[in-house]
Amino acid sequence: VAAGKTTAANCFANLGFGYGRYSQVVERVAAERHKPVTRALLQQIGHEIHEEHGQRWLGKMLLQQLPVTENLVIDGIRFPEDHALLVEAFGPAFFHLHIGASYQVRRDRYRVRENSAAKFDLADFHPVEKHADELAGLANLVIDNEDTLERFSSHLEQLVKDSGRR
């Protein structure tokens, strides 16, 4: 929570990447239930999906709605099963960039964005978030996002230039 995953995904989308995120599927389920979308509701429904259908179901639903484009960015990987499905789906073209930040930096960002540090703790300790740190060990590259938004964005733009994926 508040590490910079969606910020990075939006940066890549602005550079021409197709964009998809796991929560799009969860939001669709919330809309079918006629529920207003909040982070807490998305986490609750995401946990229900994980328990009832499994991450592969969620991932397959996401894959069906991804745009057809050469380069994609997928936001919101939360479980090792998500990583495994994407490796299977995209093979060596799949590049897992893991973005992390310290607890305090993430809490401060959340407090500024949502005007509540207490809600950060509720969000950060939710069961759907507990495997996020495990994903760093599966990633091709780990970025610690402790810097300014401008420097973070510049770093991401340089990664794209260096990869030749523009």
Alpha-carbon distance of 94 to 22, in angstroms, equals 16
**pLDDT tens column, 57-68:** 999 999 999 988
* pLDDT tens per residue across span 17-64: 999 998 888 888 888 888 888 878 888 888 888 889 988 999 999 999
Which pLDDT score is estimated for 114?
Answer: 85
